[in-house]
């Protein structure tokens, strides 16, 4: 590089000497009829006719950007304007260099107005109901939605809580709570033990509450809502909550996985099923309630004892030496006959 500059300098000197017919002092060049310093002259930087632009100056025979900050700048500027929204800048080699880009306040929700706070660079997303259709409100988690009918939240509709929370009926008051991992039909003491969207509800026929899907009517469930059987919870906010049945087969030993399928009957002859923990009682084991028995069995009063007995829809559900016999009062669950293997 130095050899190239020296060569260019020498050539320019000879040309200048020939044109001007004069000799300049050492370190100077004759350019345009005058002696100039090619190491600093902005119009002849590094040689005659090599001018620098308005934003550069000549330094050691090279055109370099004019300093705008730092000690070399004639009128130094502050690179950082204290507005964290348009990025941050620092002075490097006389120039303001971007060290972090502008803040982009985008939350993906069409009905929020997003702004950046200059002092901190944090984003603020404000819901604006006027950006939604009539009768809807802006939910910062889910765009425009139908307003939640209960305050602070609805157990049945599961609205009014943050995206990672469940509206719980614990203690008779609707409240938002965290979720956990217990699945449908598992015993619980409070909703935060249940998986997302499930609530901890008890039925009058059970010995404990279960993680359940909540309902206000049968249309809220795949099967029936236990409100149809007079089993419901009235909350302080006015919401009345029932529990969806789990459609299962009391005869099956597998329809509830590791649990057993139980049922309740209405005075009108209807029935609804649900899963619950199974007991340990097999055929002939002493019992006081159906929950004492394993899946596929009921606690039955025989002539001389009360014991777990295998239930059936037909003879094929029994051992080869048994028959499926009706109970004294015929039992129907979900329209299917249930008998006892004897």
Give, in degrees to the nearest 5, the angle at Cα 24 between 19 and 25. Answer: 165
User: Cα dihedral sign for 138, 142, 148, 152?
Assistant: negative
Tokens describing residue 337: 């006959």
Residue 112: HSE in the Cβ half-sphere, 13 Å Cα cutoff: 17
Instruction: Give the pLDDT mean for 43-55.
Output: 91
Give, in degrees to the nearest 5, the angle at Cα 288 between 282 and 291. Answer: 60
Where does the pLDDT of residue 2 fall: very low under 50, low under 70, confident under 90, or very high at 90 and above? very low
Where does the pLDDT of residue 20 fall: very low under 50, low under 70, confident under 90, or very high at 90 and above? very low
Place of tokens 């320019």: 12
Which of the residue ranges 104-118, 191-205, 243-257 would you say has the lowest mean pLDDT?
Answer: 191-205
For 84, phi and psi rounded to 5 degrees? -75, -10
- Asked if the model's pLDDT at residue 246 lies above 70, the reply is yes
Residue 68 has a pLDDT of 85
Where does the pLDDT of residue 225 fall: very low under 50, low under 70, confident under 90, or very high at 90 and above? confident
The DSSP secondary-structure symbol of 147 reads P
Contact 312, 339 (CB under 8 A): yes
Nearest to 217 by CA among 248, 239, 241: 241
Distance from C-alpha of 153 to C-alpha of 147, rounded to nearest angstrom = 10
131's CB contacts (< 8 A; 6+ apart) are: 110, 111, 138, 144
Q: What pairs with residue 34 in β-bridges? A: 31
Instruction: Give the pLDDT mean for 24-49.
Output: 91
User: Cα dihedral sign for 329, 334, 336, 340?
Assistant: negative
Instruction: Give the pLDDT mean for 271-295.
Output: 91
Instruction: Give the pLDDT mean for 240-248.
Output: 88
Tokens describing residue 285: 């084991």
Instruction: Give the pLDDT mean for 292-310.
Output: 95
- Asked if the model's pLDDT at residue 1 lies above 50, the reply is no
Distance from C-alpha of 243 to C-alpha of 226, rounded to nearest angstrom = 5
Residue 203 has a pLDDT of 66
- Asked if the model's pLDDT at residue 320 lies above 90, the reply is yes
Place of tokens 């010995």: 207
DSSP 183-201: -TT-EESSGGGBPTT-EEE
- Asked if the model's pLDDT at residue 130 lies above 90, the reply is yes
Longest dimension (CA), the chain: 139
- Percent of the chain exceeding pLDDT 70 equals 90
Q: What pairs with residue 169 in β-bridges? A: none
Print burial letters for 95-124: b (CB count within 10 Å at least 16), e (below 16).
bbeeeeeebebeeebebbeeebeeeebeee
Tokens describing residue 300: 């039955």
Residue 277 has a pLDDT of 84
- Asked if the model's pLDDT at residue 87 lies above 70, the reply is yes
Most confident of 27-31, 142-146, 231-235, 314-318: 314-318
Spans of all domains in the chain: 2-65, 112-145, 148-245, 247-342
Tokens describing residue 309: 């007995």
Residue 1: HSE in the Cβ half-sphere, 13 Å Cα cutoff: 4
């Amino acid at each position: 590089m130095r050899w190239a500059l020296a060569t260019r300098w020498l050539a320019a000197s000879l040309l200048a000497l020939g044109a001007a017919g004069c000799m300049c002092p050492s370190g100077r060049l004759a350019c345009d009829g005058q002696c100039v310093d090619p190491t600093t002259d902005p119009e002849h930087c590094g040689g005659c006719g090599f001018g620098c632009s308005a934003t550069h100056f000549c330094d050691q025979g090279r055109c370099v950007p004019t300093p705008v900050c730092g000690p070399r700048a004639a009128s130094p500027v502050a690179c950082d304007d204290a507005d964290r929204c348009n990025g941050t800048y620092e002075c490097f080699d006389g120039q303001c260099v971007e060290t972090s880009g502008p803040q982009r306040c985008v939350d993906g929700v069409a009905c929020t107005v997003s702004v950046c706070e200059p002092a901190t660079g944090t984003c603020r997303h404000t819901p604006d109901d006027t950006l939604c259709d009539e009768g809807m409100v802006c939910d910062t988690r889910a765009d425009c939605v139908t307003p939640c009918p209960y305050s602070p939240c609805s157990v049945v509709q599961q609205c009014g809580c943050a995206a990672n929370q469940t509206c719980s009926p614990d203690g008779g008051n609707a409240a938002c709570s965290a979720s956990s991992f217990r699945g449908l039909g598992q015993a619980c003491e409070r909703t935060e033990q249940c998986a997302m969207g499930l609530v901890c509800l008890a039925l009058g026929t059970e010995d404990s509450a279960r993680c359940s899907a909540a309902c206000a009517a049968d249309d809220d469930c795949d099967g029936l809502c236990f409100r149809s059987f007079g089993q419901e919870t009235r909350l302080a906010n006015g919401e009345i909550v029932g529990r969806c049945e789990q459609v299962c087969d009391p005869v099956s030993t597998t329809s509830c996985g590791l649990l057993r399928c139980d049922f309740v009957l209405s005075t009108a002859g209807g029935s609804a099923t649900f899963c619950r923990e199974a007991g340990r009682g097999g055929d002939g084991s002493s019992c006081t309630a159906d929950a004492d028995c394993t899946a596929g069995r009921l606690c039955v009063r025989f002539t001389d004892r009360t014991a777990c007995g295998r239930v059936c829809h037909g003879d094929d559900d029994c051992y080869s030496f048994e028959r499926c016999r009706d109970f004294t009062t015929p039992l129907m669950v979900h329209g299917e006959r249930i008998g006892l293997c004897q």
